[in-house]
């Protein structure tokens, strides 16, 4: 308690406000714990210091005598660089200020020009596919029982398989990985004619078979699909 008034008197010089009045001499409104408050406070603080060890390094004050006129009666815990949930940032604000818009090119086999879509604007695969459907307005989405989604051109009956090029340059089927992972990895989209996709599959199988047959060491190298588009 004495340390408090000493501190407050130095600070009242700074601000001009008289802090003698705020020293703990009056009863606390609603309860009477004046006598034990000081001891409790100090004990409580060392408890706090243990509790907040996740915040920073704690300093044990249990051996500090009440007469010590060190800087304040309470030692501050060392500041931690980041604590969970602080400082509070509104979810909306965080989302609103994301500066990256993930625009990727969308190519459709047989279409004269490409389009661009903002992957960040969609919440999932459904929304992306329905948006592609609207954009190249000649398709409808057909859901297959094995959860494969294909875009179908109802006039000619050709199916389109959505594929994308990932960071490694490989062409992958859309829909395998979680949405967020896909948004991160996708560099461009291509709606491939289904017939071509199955042809590619056949070509690949043949290549693998030939390699296996010819090489003495059992070494299989799977060509990236882009190799075949050259």
Yes or no: say if 74 and 45 are a contact pair by the CB < 8 Å rule. Answer: yes
Q: Which of residues 66-85 bind other proteins (CB under 8 A)?
A: 71-72, 74, 76-77, 79-83, 85
104 lies in the binding site for other proteins (CB under 8 A): no
Backbone angles phi, psi at 149, to 5 degrees: -110, 130
* Interface pick for other proteins out of 35, 67, 88, 100 (rule CB under 8 A): 88
31 lies in the binding site for other proteins (CB under 8 A): yes
Q: Which stretch binds other proteins (CB under 8 A): 96-104, 157-165, 185-193, 204-212?
A: 96-104
Question: What single DSSP character describes residue 147?
Answer: S
Backbone angles phi, psi at 125, to 5 degrees: -65, -40
* Interface pick for other proteins out of 48, 133, 158, 194 (rule CB under 8 A): 48
52 lies in the binding site for other proteins (CB under 8 A): yes
Query: In terms of CB distance, is 127 or 184 closer to other proteins?
Result: 127
Other beta carbons within 10 angstroms of residue 4's beta carbon come to 16
| Positions of E strands within the chain | 103-108, 115-118, 140-143, 149-152, 159-165, 171-173, 188-193
47 lies in the binding site for other proteins (CB under 8 A): yes
* Cβ partners under 8 Å of residue 106, min gap 6: 114, 115, 116, 117, 132, 135, 188, 189, 190, 191
The three-point CA angle 216-218-222 to 5° equals: 120
135 lies in the binding site for other proteins (CB under 8 A): no
97 lies in the binding site for other proteins (CB under 8 A): yes
The footprint of other proteins (CB under 8 A) covers: 4, 7-8, 11, 14-17, 19, 22, 24, 26, 28-31, 33, 37, 40-41, 43-45, 47-48, 51-52, 55-56, 71-72, 74, 76-77, 79-83, 85-94, 96-97, 99, 121, 123, 127
């Amino acid at each position: 308690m004495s340390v408090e008034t000493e501190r407050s008197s130095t600070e009242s010089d700074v601000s001009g406000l008289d802090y003698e009045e705020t020293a703990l001499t009056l009863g606390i409104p609603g309860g009477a714990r004046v006598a034990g408050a000081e001891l409790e406070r100090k004990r409580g603080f060392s408890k706090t210091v243990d509790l907040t060890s996740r915040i920073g390094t704690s300093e044990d004050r249990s051996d500090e005598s009440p007469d010590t006129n060190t800087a304040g009666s309470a030692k501050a815990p060392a500041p931690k660089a980041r604590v969970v949930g602080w400082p509070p940032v509104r979810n909306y604000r965080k989302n609103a200020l994301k500066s990256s818009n993930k625009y990727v090119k969308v190519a459709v086999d047989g279409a004269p020009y490409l389009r661009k879509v903002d992957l960040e604007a969609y919440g999932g695969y459904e929304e992306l596919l329905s948006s592609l459907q609207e954009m190249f307005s000649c398709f409808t989405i057909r859901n297959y029982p094995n959860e494969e989604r294909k875009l179908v051109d109802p006039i000619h009956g050709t199916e389109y398989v959505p594929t994308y090029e990932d960071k490694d340059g490989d062409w992958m089927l859309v829909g395998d990985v979680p949405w967020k992972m896909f948004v991160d990895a996708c560099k461009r989209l291509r709606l491939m004619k289904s017939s071509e996709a199955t042809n590619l599959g056949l070509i690949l199988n043949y290549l693998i078979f030939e390699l296996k047959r010819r090489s003495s060491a059992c070494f299989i190298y799977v060509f990236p699909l882009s190799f075949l588009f050259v």
